[in-house]
Amino acid sequence: MTNTTPTRREQLRLDTTAEIKRVALALLAEGGPDAIALRAIAREMRMTAGALYSYYATRDDLITALTGDMYTSLVDRTESARDAHPVDAPAARLLAWGEAFRSWAIEHPDGFRLVYGDPVRGYRAPEGGAAPEAASRACAGLTGLVAAAWPPKDEEPADDYDWDDFDPGLAALVKEKFPDLPPAAVALALRVWGRMHGLVALEVYGHLRSQAKDPARLYRAELRDLTRSLGLAD
C-alpha cells in the first residue's frame, strides 16, 4: 500500500503555497487585480523574492493557479447544490445552482472578481484559458439546466441560430455533451447565465446593496421568474 502522507518537506511546501495564495487574495481585496505582485507577496511573507520564485516562476503562474482554485471551488459548490435534487426536479436543480452561485460569490468576492471581473493588467493566460476544466464544467452544468427544459414552453419562438454563431470550443462541448440540442439552446443557456450573473455582479461590486435592502430577495425572485420563463414548475 502506497503511503500518501506528505513528508515534512512536502507539507512545508504545501503550507507555503497555500499562504502565498492567501496573501495574493488579500492583496487583490485591498488593491484590485493589479495589486497581485510576487515582490509584494514576498514582503508580506518576509521571504526573499528569489525564494518565492521557487514556488511560482512568474506572476502569471500564480494568477493562473488562483483562478483555477477559485473557479473550481465555485463549480464544486454549484454542482453539489444542483445534485442534492433529483434529475426529475429541474426547477429545483436550477434554483439550487443559482442560489449556490450567489452564496459562493458573496462569500468569495475576491475570487468572483478574479474569475469574472476586470482582467489583471499584463496577465497572459495559458492556451485554453486559466481554468479550462472548471470553465467546461460550468458551461456543461448551465447547458444541462437548459437541456432539462428544452424546448421551453413559454419562450417566444427562438431566433435562427447556427453553430457558427458561437465559439467553436463551446459548440464542440455542447455537441459532445448534449447531442440532441440545437444551436438555439446554446443561445438560451447564455441568456440564463446572464440572468444568474447580472444581479450577483451588481451586488459583489457594491452597486446593488445601496439600492436594495435585501439583494437576496431580489435574486430569488429573478430565479423564480427564470424557471417560469423556461416553463418549469416551481
Q: Which pLDDT tens digit goes with each residue over 52-63?
A: 999 999 999 999
Q: Which residue has the cell 459583489?
A: 204
Q: What is the value of pTM for the model shown? A: 0.89
Torsion of the alpha carbons at 174, 176, 178 and 183, rounded to the nearest 10:
40
Between 77 and 25, residue with greater pLDDT: 77
Rounded average pLDDT over 195-214: 92
Instruction: Say yes or no to pLDDT of 2 above 60.
Output: no
Q: How far is CA 23 from CA 14, 37, 127, in A?
A: 14, 10, 26
